[in-house]
Structure formats: C-alpha cells, structure tokens
Copies of this chain bind each other. A is one copy, B any other.
Amino acid sequence: MDQVTTSADRALHVSSRGAQTALRLRQAAREAFGALGWQGTRVQDIVTRAGVSHGTFYNYYENRAAILTELVADSHAEFVELASAPWDADDVRGALEHVIGGFLDVYQRDAAIMRTWLQAAREERSFSDLYRRSRRLFVDRVADHVGAVGAASGRQDGPPAQTVASALVAMVEHFAYCWAVLGEVHDRDDAVESLVLVWGGALNELAGFEIVKRP
C-alpha cells in the first residue's frame, strides 16, 4: 500500500533505443568527467554532450554519482583482473614487468576516470570504499609474496610484509597517477624499468640474494 516508488521504477531500458541512450550518456559522462572533473561536472554537462534532455538523464541514473559508479566499475574490474592474474615464480622480473606494465597501461587508458574516481572518493563514501578495496587487493597479494621472500631468507628482523607491500603498491599507484593524471613526463618503458628496479631491489634486500636479476 504505502510502497515507495522511486524514479527507477520508471524504465528498464531493455529496448535497443534505450540501451543506445544509456551508452551515449555513459560516453558523454566519460568525456565530461575527463574535461571538468568530479566537482566541475554538472548533469547539464553530461546531457549536453549526449544530446539528450535533462530529464532523460534521470530516466537512466539516479544522479551524477550513479553514472560515475558504472564507469568506475569498469576500471575496477580491470584492476581486479590484474591483481588476480597468475604469477610466474620462476621469472620474478618478467612477472613484475607484466603486472606493473599492465597497471600503467590500464591507468593511462582510464586516466580520466581514475582522476574522477579519486576526486569523488574525497567526498562520497562509496567511491573511497571501492578505492580502498581495490588497493587492498593489491597490497594483500604483494604482502603474500614479500612475506614469502622474507621467510625464505631466514632473517627474522625485517619490517612487516604488509608495510613493505603498502609502500611498494603506493609507489606504483602514485607514480601512475603523477604520470597519467598530473602529466609528469616519463617514457612508458623507462617507467616500467624504474618501478621494477625499485621493486626488485626491495625483494633482493629481503631475500638476501639476487632473487631479481639484472636484465
């Protein structure tokens, strides 16, 4: 009886026309967020780019955050995949190059969304939660490896694997941000080499021998 109805009970958008419009809105949002940032983007900026009316937006998304959520989900999925990729224990350098290179590539391709995501994370809980979860995934995975290397070395006095892992992930992540979002100039392959060099140096320190060999 007293059932509450939301604007979402309006449309399912299963038709091809509806799907088309949703797609155009997403693309328009991607452009708008990229150009104007999270705070700078008004719903108006999105619908103008999409060539639809203001009201149409609300047939598809509850608000500005909802559409960003969808865009972010795509990037997030790619990171999850990267973080879950198998790892060649016999070729640590190769594995590092692959994962770090992949990370930089995804980050650069989605730079606009990454920037917006991080902006939004400052004011909307859902985005910061997703960011934290995303980061967690990498840190935990890295901590496993770091812990294993440290344990194999037989030395007991090193710093916690979680802390080392947090530092390594922070490096890659923020380097990617400075490069892809802030526009710091680096050659992509130099970047991978540098990050692998640092990461490898850390592993060598922990292992006590050259677990990551010079190329």
A105 to B195, CA, bound (A): 25
Report yes or no: A202 in contact with B206, Cβ–Cβ below 8 A: no
Q: Does A163 contact B (CB under 8 A)?
A: yes
User: How many copies of the shown chain assemble into the complex?
Assistant: 4
Instruction: Assess the A186–B205 pair: CB atoms within 8 A.
Output: no
Complex Cα distance A195/B10, Å? 48
The answer to the question of A108 belonging to the interface, with a C-beta cut-off of 8 Å to chain B, is: no
Question: Is B158 within 8 A of A39, CB to CB?
Answer: no
A132 sits at the interface (CB 8 A):
yes
A35 touching B2, Cβ below 8 Å: yes
Interface residues on A, range: 35 or more
- From A118, A162, A170, A184, name the one whose CB has the most chain B CB atoms within 10 angstroms: A170
Instruction: Let me know if A198 and B168 touch, CB within 8 A.
Output: yes
Q: Does A140 touch B at the CB level, under 8 Å?
A: no
Extra contacts, 20 of them, besides A160-B186, A167-B198 (Cβ < 8 A), are A1-B35, A3-B35, A5-B42, A115-B122, A119-B123, A135-B178, A160-B190, A163-B191, A164-B198, A166-B175, A166-B179, A166-B194, A167-B172, A170-B178, A173-B174, A174-B177, A197-B202, A198-B198, A201-B203, A201-B204
Q: List the 7 closest pairs (A to B, CB-CB), nearest first.
A: A201-B201, A171-B171, A174-B174, A170-B174, A201-B205, A198-B202, A159-B194
